[in-house]
Structure 1
């Protein structure tokens, strides 16, 4: 993403036992001492730490210190979507990144003898010339001495359990259970089994107990496919079982009637609709917090490519058995999306060396794209199962400001800037926070009344709009002199007015915008609008607006 950037790596987590917040804090502190410009964290805590408020956890406070030192902090949103408030990165000084799909997919499929096609995953070659091959399940290819010795025998981990005469030249069907997820069984070993038995290829069906697990396209040296859907796996097994001919007396298989071929998944397909928000990408706005009803902070901040991402991989790495010996790997998750943003932030920092961390985040946010490659709205997947059949237009709580626009971020026109002191005032404004702030920072709180809504963020989020309110935002022109006109769309249940509606702002000058919101109708769920600033030099600044209207009425006795 930033070819001339220097990369510093700090190891704080280990595969065998993970790590602790103290380890991550130590790495953050060391990076700050070393003078890095950007910190990228493809990690999130596995639980919300206890305390006065979510923001006062050790990692977030360490990152606030990094921001004080001028470091732009990027963090993965977490892979706990698609449920609301599932975000694992929530502080306003952290730039939180969700995961979206790009249009390059590696689709593999198996075509059954009854002309049913089942899609799956696997960076594997197809079978020769699309000819049909006999399907043989592992449990029907056992050596007589192997029967009943291993309850996991269908996972094809040991070639000595199977009769080569039955398997040779056929497609071997193996099961994919939770043991593969845990690393107790591997696709690599199953492929070795198939190869030693001279199988034409391998077909893995999904155990119904493996639900919602994101399968990466796994490299395979022989024809193979993993069917990730339990429902599709049932279709395969029903066809296979219905095609068997068994001896009526012994119940042994005397003929394997099911046939199929594997199309192969090595060649990329670029016809997919993209970007779209992946079902696993964590959603905002804020986490549940016993101390705060909400913080009125938009999360995630943005989305970036995070699904099926090719990246360099150490051939000696042991973190994933399936990629051992490989120089590249393809993985999915918000952990893949965050480094995209870190790299683009490096490019922005190179172009604008004096940009503060919040200015970098503003440039990325206000220029983000709102449409997919076909010009329609960006869609968000809403379910683990059949995610492409359960999707609807993405909201700011799915995608933040939108999908990152690398070119636009390098020429944002206007920026929204916030300082370390602003974040401190926000923390001090939380009831009972003064001793906690002092404990973490050594600084004493004054009489701060700043709320999250008062932070100069490139978004407006109001979780409890009762009657009316005024929100102020200040923009700074980092481009040439320009005149802007202001337009907006109001959320359902509220009216919006922005002043001024037109303004001229010179290079380096600031302009205060006043946003008047008036509740018109109760609405128990969030509704969304948008404010747009349109410059005469071609700059467009987008500000997402998210509101929940909760009107309360005073009554008097008559």
Structure 2
């Protein structure tokens, strides 16, 4: 399989060439640590966890499709790393400000860049000077460097963001090797062309990667898996067929339903969650009342803040309020209220000509949902000489900010409390103190507000996302955009950050179980996910309003790597099973051939998509009692006995046959059936539950979602 980009006028000629299967229009994609690994149970000091059992991913190669990498950073040092695997066929490609002979080592073993697809679509050569980019694998935005260091970065002590999150930073698989495939460029704020993504998949497969981490996602509506306008489902299919696990971002369009992306069943799709760490910021009023703020603004003094803020990669800052100034900021607190006869001005109406803000900290209430308008308003406070701003807005509508002066977002409730104080005194004062780092109770795990949600818009019978992982305020490496520094660390957020967490875990599992298929690894991760946080309480999903998390928020739950290393049973699949899925979708043989590049003859009777051997069950239109089948493979103790248990909402009935599975040296794989019926006599939304197999030690949990449909009687 080889992919090339052409100007559209050449396509008529190209399609006639021998060996050309299909010509498709180019499309663009967008890109979407010190505490998170300990939070997930992968402390480097424990000898019994997956990290050390797998020798930290030694010998595994993680490939990343992203914005490039900054190879000189300490997090990419190769100290104590093993030799480059002999199977590696990749290269370290030289280019602008990137000497391949010097850039790569035993940590970063490969680096390529792909731009012909972008240039073919753009119609002219890409001007790196105008776009502040490099015609090479070098990273110009920080996104690819950040994700690479999360997946497989080396140990670096005393990492922090201006003192916050201080600790030793590392990737999930610090013993693994990395290979960067730069497919995203800064044109139009950041795009990744289909043709370049496909070519990168092709090269990564040929190079010999074991895991592919893809923190990219397309916009809704999604293309089908056999539509050649969708490069990620096509490229990932060929990678999985070669035994390469492909981990992709769910997208950052949450909390709206049906926004999840990268929904092909062979992809491991990752949602974003918080961890048990927060950065509370004290606001002390003149009456000595202190309000602790934990919301979604990042403030500080580093020059890279302004650099990152100008690009359009979505949700790079989404998490808690962080004021990283060394000193407190104290000043008069003002509110834009002229008189009782005039309505107060909202945030968006503030102007840099408002000299009354000079030397003061401003409280304002946001009335507009437009991020750029509010961003301009905050900059107006700064331009007018203001010392800081407190923005009050709906807690379900926080936007990410990167400001280089104090700017905190608070809820309407908190903003109203502050306003009451202002109105109660003739000389209101406020003091903003630097943020603190807090770990553990009472901080709970949530699915991030921005994380895209299910159900899948193009295949409702396939549960997506598959799993959630830390993706909020993740501290990892970024390039030294300030030329006076040698590198830095940054808190970034998004499913882009959650994805390499899972990629690193996949690398550890691949090191421990080199013969496991991508489907087996995916099953182990999904069926062992956590559905409650460490203190035992439920996990919530941030939204409008927040709610208890369900499978459309986090799939099987929060990733639990140590349990995934000993899952007991797995729902395995191979290419033949995926062809079964394609036939069940109703695609014709010709369409499937376009994807698989192998002749396929679907059975005359269309198979059921519900029988695809996934570790989850979704029935989007339950009209009558429905029976589906699954097959599990024992990867635990040879002689094992598992019993089934079901949890479901009232009115949904689930029966499993047989209810007991007995494995031995002669019986390693067993099939079972599940009958699901509903007592509801009206059309309803989705009900959620689970099917769990347990032998007393292992807990193999499959999430289930069911929507009843009893028909329409409007006519």
State the TM-score, normalizing by the size of structure 1: 0.78
Instruction: From the CA coordinates, give the structure whose radius of gyration is larger.
Output: 1
Matched, 1:398 2:553: yes
* Maintained 8 Å contact 1:273/1:374: no
Matched, 1:302 2:480: no
Matched, 1:530 2:694: no
Residues 94-120 of structure 1, C-alpha deviations (whole Å, 9 max, x = no match): 111111111101111322225373625
SS of residue paired to 2:499 = helix
Measured after TM superposition, the shift of residue 80 of structure 1 is 1.1
User: Hey, what's the Cα distance between the residues in 2 that align with 1:480 and 1:179?
Assistant: 56
User: Hey, what's the Cα distance between the residues in 2 that align with 1:354 and 1:330?
Assistant: 36
Measured after TM superposition, the shift of residue 185 of structure 1 is 6.7
Measured after TM superposition, the shift of residue 420 of structure 1 is 1.4
Residues 247-300 of structure 1, C-alpha deviations (whole Å, 9 max, x = no match): xxxxxxxxxx2201113204335334422112211111211x4xxxx4411111
Residue of structure 1 in register with 2:495 after alignment: 334
Residue of structure 1 in register with 2:702 after alignment: 543
**Inter-CA distance 353–187: structure 2 relative to 1 (3 Å threshold):** farther
Residue of structure 2 in register with 1:100 after alignment: 273
Counting only pairs closer than 5 Å after superposition, residues 96-495 of structure 1 correspond to structure 2 as: 96-114=269-287, 115=289, 117=291, 119=293, 121-125=321-325, 127=327, 133-135=331-333, 154=352, 167=359, 171=361, 202-206=387-391, 212-215=397-400, 224-227=406-409, 229=411, 257-287=427-457, 289=458, 294-316=459-481, 327-383=488-544, 390-448=545-603, 449-481=606-638, 482-495=640-653
SS of residue paired to 2:585 = coil
Aligned pair count reads: 497
Matched, 1:11 2:182: yes
Measured after TM superposition, the shift of residue 15 of structure 1 is 2.3
Residue of structure 1 in register with 2:219 after alignment: 46
Residue of structure 1 in register with 2:132 after alignment: none
**Inter-CA distance 533–52: structure 2 relative to 1 (3 Å threshold):** closer
Residues 30-60 of structure 1, C-alpha deviations (whole Å, 9 max, x = no match): 1111111111111101233556978972321
SS of residue paired to 1:66 = helix
- What is the RMSD computed on CA atoms of the aligned residues? 3.8
Residue of structure 2 in register with 1:499 after alignment: 657
User: Hey, what's the Cα distance between the residues in 2 that align with 1:179 and 1:83?
Assistant: 17
User: Hey, what's the Cα distance between the residues in 1 that align with 2:701 and 2:654?
Assistant: 15
* Maintained 8 Å contact 2:352/2:381: no
SS of residue paired to 2:237 = helix
User: Hey, what's the Cα distance between the residues in 2 that align with 1:500 and 1:104?
Assistant: 44
Structure 1 residue ranges without an equivalent (≥5): 141-150, 245-256, 384-389
State the TM-score, normalizing by the size of structure 2: 0.62
* Maintained 8 Å contact 2:689/2:704: yes
User: Hey, what's the Cα distance between the residues in 1 that align with 2:712 and 2:365?
Assistant: 61
Structure 2 residue ranges without an equivalent (≥5): 1-171, 296-320, 339-348
User: Hey, what's the Cα distance between the residues in 1 that align with 2:430 and 2:654?
Assistant: 60
User: Hey, what's the Cα distance between the residues in 2 that align with 1:54 and 1:207?
Assistant: 45
User: Hey, what's the Cα distance between the residues in 1 that align with 2:502 and 2:578?
Assistant: 22
User: Hey, what's the Cα distance between the residues in 1 that align with 2:221 and 2:263?
Assistant: 11
State which drifts further: 21-30 or 111-120: 111-120
* Maintained 8 Å contact 2:623/2:710: yes
User: Hey, what's the Cα distance between the residues in 2 that align with 1:490 and 1:180?
Assistant: 40
SS of residue paired to 2:452 = coil
**Inter-CA distance 54–286: structure 2 relative to 1 (3 Å threshold):** farther
Measured after TM superposition, the shift of residue 335 of structure 1 is 1.1
